[in-house]
A and B are shown apart, each in its own frame.
Chain A
Amino acid sequence: MSNLETALRETAARLLRDGRVALVLGYEAGSVPFRTAPAFVERAEDVERLVWNPFCTNNLAVYLPEVKSVGRVAIVAKGCDARSVVTLIQEHQIPREQVVILGLCCSGMVDVERLVPAGGSLAGIAISTGTDGRLTVESDGDRRTLAAGEILQERCNVCEYTRPPVADEILGDPAGPLAAPVEPFAVVAEMERRSPAERQAFWRDQFDRCIRCYACREVCPACYCRTCFVDKAAPRWLSRASTVDDNWMFHAVRAFHLAGRCVGCGECERACPMDIPISRLNRMLDREVRERFGYVAGLDPESVPPLGTFRPEDPDPGGHEG
């Protein structure tokens, strides 16, 4: 990892020094060992701030529409993040020439909760990385050594794009599939084994916890509407109040707005302070879009998102009851 970090810093410094980009969007050390923070580096002498480790979880593409006014931007991108950048390019939120994708071959991001035993505390934790890449985690008198690959986020366990599919520069060796690959839509299939009444009850429970903080919406690079449907008064689609009904409407509509556009980065779920497994909705639609239209989000900057087009030979559902 540290070689990759060095290569990343050198690349960033070169791009800034040569004036090729005005800004490098990357990660820097966070306020605690298991977090990083999005970093905006504008000067070559500041590239030492940039880090690359299994805690670089944020999808930095979310900043592109806002920072593009500074000029050309380089973005440190994992496979999922690069696909988000492609989605933004497809939808004309940033011209292809204005972004330099620094694609990093990714071995997965740690699920921070799993750094400590169940019920353990992250307070006062210390993490060090050995020369073999394994993490030594010390917290509350407990000391363990493990490989980051053993405690990855769920979305990393099903990742198919560890090597960014679109990039201007690729850093690191293309990593093979992550350890113990899991069937990508297993979590969707699990829900489908439940009856409609069980699903209703499940989601009502989840949406009962939602406080409408919109963290899910704000971390999502695909949610860039200046005025979200939630904020419209005419027509007024739903209430600002956090009732189960309105929360249901918010999440159902948002999931639909992301159909064919969500790349499965999982940041919505990580950001949710109420632990709502919100990405399952997006994952289900991802599967449907693949099966019905043969389309995977964020692979080709030239293609049109699936709901913005059609084919005369699309399956004809007329006459079916769904």
Chain B
Amino acid sequence: MAFLCNWCSYAGADLAGSSRMSYPANVRVVRVPCSGRVNPMFVMQCFKRGFDGVLIAGCHPGDCHYAKGNFYARRRMPLVQELLGYLGVEPGRIRFDWVSASESGRFAQVVADLTEAVRSLGPYGRPAPIASPTLPTELEPVHE
């Protein structure tokens, strides 16, 4: 899962796409206004829901469209990495980086690097959900 800020990293990813750059298809993108908008709970939800890696990319420090959003993210995201690492999420699964609107090549590289790191770590283990994953195919009475 990749959280990309609208003004820089998402634009960079978009540029990578329109330049026909190749990068692994395992990434799902969520566009946010700013890397500072990324709530640590998003990252935790990703792992809870079965994602194997998370990328948070923002503008380079000093370039934030909202002046200081990425400065808050710069304090927040490393702590998320530490906390999740302490809980057993391998550090290589979470990457926090800067990608500017023109850095299409950098975006592709960052995604490729993270994909490779996650691949070598394997799928992120998580326990089964509360109900059987097999959903019903026929209508059946609920009461005897």
A residues near B, CB below 8 A? 188, 191-192, 196-204, 229, 237-239, 241, 243-246, 248-249, 252-253, 255-256, 259, 281, 284-285, 288-289, 292-293, 306-307, 310, 312, 314-322
Contacts and interface: CB of A to CB of B under 8 A. Distances in A.
Contacts, number: 120
A248 B81 CA distance: 15
B75 A192 contact: no
B48 to A, nearest CB: 5
17 contacts: A199-B87, A203-B88, A229-B41, A252-B87, A255-B83, A256-B44, A256-B80, A259-B83, A284-B82, A285-B82, A288-B79, A310-B74, A314-B74, A316-B74, A318-B98, A321-B91, A322-B78
A317 B80 contact: no
Interface centre among B60, B83, B86 (most CB of A within 10 A): B86
B6 to A, nearest CB: 18
A311 to B, nearest CB: 8
B23 interface: no
Given A200-B89, A252-B87, A310-B68, 15 more contacts: A196-B90, A200-B88, A229-B41, A237-B45, A239-B130, A249-B48, A285-B79, A292-B78, A307-B76, A315-B78, A317-B74, A320-B96, A321-B91, A321-B114, A322-B95
Interface in B42-88: 44-45, 48, 60-61, 68, 71-72, 74-88
A245 B96 contact: no
B86 A202 contact: no
B129 interface: yes
Nearest to A201: B88
Interface of B: 40-41, 44-45, 48, 60-61, 68, 71-72, 74-92, 94-98, 113-114, 117, 125-127, 129-130
A207 to B, nearest CB: 9
A243 B129 contact: yes
A233 B76 CA distance: 25
A248 B74 CA distance: 24
B115 to A, nearest CB: 12
A218 B81 CA distance: 26
B96 A318 contact: yes
A312 B74 CA distance: 10
A182 B124 CA distance: 35
A316 B62 CA distance: 12
B127 A244 contact: yes
Given A319-B98, A321-B117, A322-B96, A310 B72 contact: yes
A63 to B, nearest CB: 28
B40 to A, nearest CB: 5
Contacts of A289: 79
B61 A316 contact: yes
A245 B74 contact: no
Nearest to B57: A318
A200 B125 contact: yes
A321 B53 CA distance: 11
B68 A253 contact: no
A290 B129 CA distance: 37
B48 A245 contact: yes
Nearest to B97: A318
A266 to B, nearest CB: 18
Contacts of A307: 72, 75-76, 79
Given A199-B87, A203-B88, A322 B94 contact: yes
- Which 9 residue pairs of A and B lie closest in terms of their CB atoms, listed nearest first? A200-B88, A199-B88, A322-B91, A310-B71, A322-B81, A318-B98, A196-B90, A244-B127, A243-B130
Nearest to B61: A316
B92 A318 contact: no
Given A307-B72, A319-B98, A253 B40 contact: yes
Given A245-B126, A253-B41, A310-B71, A317 B77 contact: yes
Contacts of B89: 196, 200
A121 B144 CA distance: 48
Nearest to B78: A317
Contact of A202 (B45, B88, B113): B88
A26 B48 CA distance: 42
